[in-house]
Amino acid sequence: MIAFSRNIGLSILNQGKRLWGGHSSLDELKGKTLLIVGAGRFGKEIASQSYAFGMRIKGVTRRAQPIRSLRSAVSVIAAARSTWPG
């Protein structure tokens, strides 16, 4: 997500063409909305990381049903992390 928000792909292409500066756009992830399809272990981890960037999270199941408990699931992950060593 960070690479897309910073348009890193275009910067790499321009670097190969020796084009410098003024070609990349910087966009913030904060306040953006992310749709997560599925709330398995991977979806919950993505949601957890996205909350750290201040993003709004929407979740749906693979059958396009809203996931209302995604935020509470992420809270459980965050609580567990606070007890992990290191």
Report pLDDT for 6: 79
Q: Report pLDDT for 76.
A: 47
Decide if pLDDT at 80 tops 70. Answer: no
The Cα–Cα gap between 85 and 45 comes to: 18
Model confidence at 69, in pLDDT bands (50, 70, 90)?
low
In tens, the pLDDT along 6-63 reads 788 888 888 888 887 765 566 788 888 888 887 778 888 888 888 888 888 888 877 7
Phi-psi region of 17 (alpha: psi -120 to 50; beta: other; left: phi over 0): alpha
Cα separation, 8 vs 6, in Å, equals 5
Position 73 scores a pLDDT of 52
